[in-house]
Amino acid sequence: MEKRIEEAIRYLGIKKGAADAGTYALVKSSFQELERAAEPKSICRIFELQECGDETIQIGNMKIRSKSLSRNLKNCERAVLFGATLGTAADRLITRAGLTDMARSVALQACAAALLEEYCDQRQEEIGRELEREGGYLRPRFSPGYGDFDIRYQEPIMRMLDCSKQIGLSMTDGCMMTPTKSVTAVIGVSPVKERCPVQGCEACKSADCPYRR
């Protein structure tokens, strides 16, 4: 719980160790509320990956032009398409709080981001253990919106995963996901084990890593 609370406080923009007792208590109680409401779900599928040159890769039948994603997936032979959500009840909890208690609403937003990230890390570790049995090693998650990986790629990723049917995740015409506390990502599968933490580049000090976001 302590690590989770610290992460939510970081999302609030408060430096480590700088949160007062009131903020700490607010975040802790917000997590307790959110855990009762959240219904985490995820879906993943593995596709063959081809490097097409000109900063373009192909995953299944989806072509993506992105320098940053191509760098992250360099020398990968497959890719995991991944989607996850905390569910609609989490959204409703945050919306209701925003009508009566803005401070709690902001705290719930931060807690939801931390909880979703924690859930995605857990699922990635599980997927990674399964793939390692057959000699595949995962790179960090890379979501639309990172670097020059256009956020509009969320739509084909969600379609290829059938997110609407499988986990109740859809997208508006403005590229907003519903429920909002959701994420899609591409995770490279390499035949070579790299020193890439599940938590991604934020948890790694190797600023010169070629796979960095």
Query: pLDDT (tens digit, 9 = 90+) per residue, 59-91?
Result: 999 999 999 999 999 999 999 999 999 999 999
Tally Cβ neighbours within 10 Å of residue 126.
12
Per-residue pLDDT tens digits for 11-49:
999 998 899 999 999 999 999 999 999 999 999 999 999
Backbone angles phi, psi at 63, to 5 degrees: -100, 135
202 pLDDT tier (thresholds 50, 70, 90): low
What's the token pair of residue 192?
């070579």
Measured distance CA(78)–CA(23) in Å, rounded: 43
From CA 144, how far away is CA 12, in angstroms rounded? 22
How many Å apart are CA 150 and CA 204, to the nearest integer? Answer: 24
For residue 106, which amino acid is it?
A: V
Give the total residue count for the chain.
213
Q: What is the pLDDT of residue 211?
A: 47
Element (H, E) at 148: none
